[in-house]
Structure 1
């Protein structure tokens, strides 16, 4: 609708008003003419709405759609007599001029040039009104408008012409200013979106925009994954901060590349530790296996490797914090247990808990388990150590003692 009323329909509305006044016919709106104009404008508006953001060249082509459709249809009805009317001859010219200014706005990066083109575009638009006024006057007062010199000798015509010119400049300046602030708003929105994705994650952010109630604290069944690089602290002591940051960045990118392909509610990093929250147990296990495959070749040259632990259960999920500082996280024994399992995983190893194994055991071929004694637990935990290749199903093998 913005494209239609902000651009495509301007000449059509002015033309309809002119012809309805000139003809003095009550049945003008019973003819096809006004509706052909409106339909052509609708088609042009639809095209520009869909395609104008893909290339500035589409702005030029798009602004010629309505004139082309209107002329083609009317020529088939009226024949060459269609060109006798001055407004018919100027329709494609205005479309081309407006399209050209929009094309040039799209290809230039210089603000002053873009602002100048916006002003020129709006002067052209007010020129549509002046053209229609001129044509109307040639019909209403033919003796006073035999030529342009005679037409402009009338001070009222000078007033209309200059007023429209100044209005075009004023509207152009206003549009240029609004475009500037709209650009700032878009840049700010893009930055805020990026920052919000960092804090919430892409999927959670998209969901929360339509269902903000999901950010409230609530109990959920989740699968938690922790990843930690074994021996990283000692390794970082022997390397420069820049080398440490470079390795961590590569590590984060490898993890993110995998997690983007799975149903992850949110994931976060803290130094060499990664925590991810999944909705589906099988998704979590497969993601863990793929992550291990991605990061092992990355860490092996540095004599490093990562341990991964997974567990599933009830958590409290949502926005946590004070009145002024909040963050989205999960809290509960499930999270603590997962961290304990991850701490027990060796370099290059994936450990999953017994409850998680029960959810995915149809994928695994294992009847062996081991008891893991962890701090803070009254009873041992049953865990499984996993191995997987990209082209083979997940297979569970008993963890070594």
Structure 2
């Protein structure tokens, strides 16, 4: 059974998603798979391909390192514990067959434990304070991985001895370090490990900065365009092309706000308006709008259904009365429902998600005709919600709205 097929079976058994498999491969290629790859190369070099694929111990090692990789690829995995999973599984299964002395007489087993413990400790130190420790730990981990490669080179050289179990390790070390070619190899590998570690540190710092910038830009985009527009555009660049849809449009506007502003200092006006927005916005958001926008003292919200819009209007009006009454102000609110054109409007440099059409204009006209503290709904909304509205309504006379050829029948919600 090949490594690829084992990974495939492990992927299916663990139910890894596409993103989960990406994390799995990143962990395997960046950390957990290093020992497996080097051990496999050393065994193939010494014993050949046939012996490698016929040895149960090789498959045990693959299985153990895949389990470790699967655990460490999880978001909340313990890096200290996780880096010891592979070596622990391998030892627990293989130790009863080899015995304690014979197991640790195998040089590759000793290398396995030394580097597993070393990486585990370095990862543990790094996790305590990543930002402060990264400048030291990341280069050190890279150097240790180069030392692992150097160790396996030594294992291959040592294994070439006819009876390496009884071989004098100290004499071997002296012989290994006594040659200039070996000293060059060791020094070069350590320097390369350091340089790779410094490069990885730069990448890590840049990734963190990019994530912070992305988070900020994402927040700004959601403030400006709303979650629905941002998510739709990320999922499909053409997802916000012009399209006719059924939407419920809510408008709320403070009555007499312009004249009130003339009588108060700009600082007082700004504080009052900001307080109003801070109280209204979370209430409107709780009913899952597609978009909320603020223009001066006006709030516009787009909802998928009239049920959402009317529920939001009732909750928003209750909050508005509490916030605005100390200033002697009140807000009028209206909801209309029907077909609109939805999409990204604007030029090449500035665009925004919104809806346009007669339904939007009518909703605005209804709001302008609504008294402070009231909520007006169109007949289209009333018919959609008839029998579902938990509050009473009274029928108004048909309103003659500015810019409308025909009168519009409306209903006012009563507490």
Superposition TM-score, scaled by structure 1 size? 0.88
Which of the residues 100, 113, 126 maps onto 2:121?
A: 100
Distance, in Å, in 1 between the alignment partners of 2:42 and 2:56 is 15
1:250 maps onto 2:275 in alignment:
yes
Distance, in Å, in 1 between the alignment partners of 2:410 and 2:115 is 75
| Change over 3 Å in CA distance of 1:76–1:253 after alignment to 2 | farther
CA contact (8 A) 1:263 1:280 kept: no
Report the counterpart of residue 182 of structure 1 in structure 2: 207
Q: Superposition pairs for residues 359-398 of structure 1, below 5 Å?
A: 359-364=384-389, 366=393, 368-387=395-414
CA-CA distance at 1:217 after TM superposition: 1.4
| Change over 3 Å in CA distance of 1:123–1:381 after alignment to 2 | same
Distance, in Å, in 1 between the alignment partners of 2:315 and 2:49 is 75
1:301 maps onto 2:326 in alignment:
yes
Report the counterpart of residue 241 of structure 2 in structure 1: 216
Q: CA RMSD in A?
A: 2.2
1:2-53 residue CA offsets vs partner (Å, 9 max, x unmatched)? 11111111112112222333345723322221222222222222212213xx
Which of the residues 334, 359, 363 maps onto 1:334?
A: 359
Which of the residues 122, 134, 150 maps onto 1:130?
A: 150
Superposition TM-score, scaled by structure 2 size? 0.86
Distance, in Å, in 2 between the alignment partners of 1:32 and 1:10 is 20
Report the counterpart of residue 161 of structure 1 in structure 2: 186
Distance, in Å, in 2 between the alignment partners of 1:76 and 1:245 is 76
Q: Secondary structure at the match of 2:387?
A: coil
Single out whichever of 116-125 and 69-78 deviates more from structure 2: 69-78
Which of the residues 90, 93, 97 maps onto 1:73?
A: 93
1:11 maps onto 2:32 in alignment:
no
1:120-150 residue CA offsets vs partner (Å, 9 max, x unmatched)? 1100011110111111111225689634223
| Change over 3 Å in CA distance of 1:96–1:320 after alignment to 2 | same
Q: Secondary structure at the match of 2:286?
A: coil
Gaps of 5+ in 1: 389-401
Q: Secondary structure at the match of 1:381?
A: coil
1:287 maps onto 2:287 in alignment:
no
Distance, in Å, in 1 between the alignment partners of 2:82 and 2:91 is 15
Q: Secondary structure at the match of 1:214?
A: coil
1:262 maps onto 2:282 in alignment:
no
CA contact (8 A) 1:353 1:382 kept: yes
Distance, in Å, in 2 between the alignment partners of 1:313 and 1:12 is 62
Report the counterpart of residue 397 of structure 1 in structure 2: none
Single out whichever of 60-69 and 295-304 deviates more from structure 2: 295-304
Q: Secondary structure at the match of 1:327?
A: strand
Q: Secondary structure at the match of 2:74?
A: helix
Distance, in Å, in 1 between the alignment partners of 2:157 and 2:186 is 13
Aligned length: 383
Distance, in Å, in 1 between the alignment partners of 2:175 and 2:85 is 35
